[in-house]
A and B are shown apart, each in its own frame.
Chain A
Amino acid sequence: MSVNQTTSIIQLLGAFGFGSLIGWYVYFVNRHRKEDLKMNDLVTLIGILGGGAVLALFPSSTDLFGAYGIGLAIGFFSYFSLLNYYVSKSMKTSHNFNTDWFLDGRCKKPSEDEQITGPGQVMGKQESHE
């Protein structure tokens, strides 16, 4: 394997990792947003997905940009898959959540001997959870 090929693979892996991180975070931000998703938000999303900053790092029509795109999709849908897994697991075990949680965020109230602390508090505020 030549030096150039090694460098290229590392660059591809880096672009893939960067894309997966962005994809994961796009879903995370979408899940924890306070208001309806507006068209302005989609314009912002254009900038994140394929804006000038991204194209400066990974020029279009290159393998780097391709690796970024693949990572983006994998990161985004990994988050979604993990949510699905946790909800389905909850449906079978604790029954705290079911598929309605994806529609309107409904879940069971904590029982009298339970309390919500830390990051889990956001779950009680009925946010959007697509």
Chain B
Amino acid sequence: MLISLIGSFGIGLVWGWMVGIASFTKKNRVFTWTRVSAGFALISILVYLLASLSATSTFILASGCAFIAYNIWIYELRQLRNHRSHFDGGIK
């Protein structure tokens, strides 16, 4: 049972990270709420599919954690770029 719970947590992590990637556009990395909404709708579908796993809550928790972690990571990368741009003046 414990392995099953940890496993659903792992699948949730991967899923949340990928939804995070999908919520950004490639060209300008704009965060779009439409994409995020669609992402969470798809999470609901997957939760429905995996309902028999009886580890739904861990899956949702992991998805949320990974989604937020991805957004923080991208935010930090942008902050880092802005910081370098400020001091170097050359990076757009």
CB within 8 Å for A50 and B11 given contacts A37-B21, A38-B22, A65-B4: yes
- A interface residues, tally (CB under 8 Å): 41
Contact of A61 with B7 at beta-carbon distance under 8 Å, contacts A30-B21, A50-B46, A77-B13 already known: no
Contact (Cβ within 8 A) B81 A49: no
Instruction: Tell me the dominant secondary structure on chain A's binding face.
Output: helix
Cα A86 to Cα B89 in complex, Å, equals 26
Q: How far is the CA of A75 from the CA of B74 in the complex (A)?
A: 21
Chain A CB within 8 A of B80 CB: yes
Q: How many A-B residue pairs have CB under 8 A?
A: 106
State the Cβ distance, B91 to closest chain A Cβ, in Å.
Answer: 7
A99 to B50, CA, bound (A): 36
**Interface contact A76-B17, CB-CB below 8 Å:** yes
Q: Which of A42, A61, A77 contacts B52 (CB 8 A)?
A: A61
Pairwise interchain contact A49-B52, C-beta atoms closer than 8 A: no
Name B81's contact: one of A63, A73, A103 (CB within 8 Å). Answer: A103
Contact check, B14 vs A42: say whether CB atoms are below 8 A apart: no
* Neighbouring A residues of B54 by C-beta, 8 Å: 61
Cβ of B72 under 8 Å from chain A = no
B residues with a Cβ closer than 8 A to A are: 2-11, 13-15, 17-19, 21-22, 25-26, 29, 35, 38-39, 42, 45-46, 49-50, 52-55, 74, 77-78, 80-81, 84, 91
Binding site for B on A (CB under 8 A): 12, 19, 23, 26, 30, 35-39, 41-43, 45-46, 49-50, 60-63, 65-74, 76-77, 98-100, 102-104, 128, 130
Q: List 14 A-B contacts (CB under 8 A).
A: A23-B14, A36-B26, A37-B18, A37-B21, A37-B22, A46-B46, A49-B46, A66-B6, A69-B10, A70-B7, A73-B9, A77-B13, A99-B81, A100-B91
